C-alpha cells in the first residue's frame, strides 16, 4: 500500500472505505465491527459519531488501535433512574 488518497463512509455498502495511490482499497464493515466490539447503544453511538464525522480516525482506531479500550474510556453510561 502507498499513500492514502481518500477515506469516506459509503452509505450503500455501510463500510468505511480507504483508497490508496497504488490502487488498493480497504473496506471496513461497520456493522460487523459494532457487533463484535460494542456492548451497548452508548458504545455504538460513539462508533457512529466517528463513522459519520471522522472516518479516518475510525479507520485508524479499528486497524491500528484498541477499540475496546477506546470505548471503555470515552463512553459515558448513565442508566435511567
Question: What tens digit of pLDDT does each residue of 36-71 get?
Answer: 999 888 999 999 999 999 999 999 999 998 999 999
Q: Is 44 helix (H, G, I), strand (E, B) or coil?
A: helix
Among residues 52, 54, 47, 63, the alpha carbon closest in space to that of 10 is found at 52
Amino acid 1: pLDDT: 55
Amino acid at each position: 500500500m502507498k499513500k492514502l488518497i481518500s477515506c469516506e463512509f459509503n452509505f450503500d455498502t455501510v463500510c468505511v472505505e480507504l483508497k490508496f495511490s497504488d490502487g488498493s482499497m480497504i473496506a471496513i464493515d461497520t456493522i460487523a465491527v459494532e457487533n463484535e466490539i460494542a456492548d451497548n447503544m452508548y458504545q455504538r453511538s460513539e462508533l457512529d459519531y466517528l463513522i459519520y464525522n471522522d472516518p479516518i480516525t475510525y479507520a485508524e482506531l479499528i486497524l491500528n488501535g484498541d477499540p475496546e479500550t477506546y470505548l471503555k474510556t470515552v463512553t459515558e453510561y448513565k442508566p435511567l433512574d
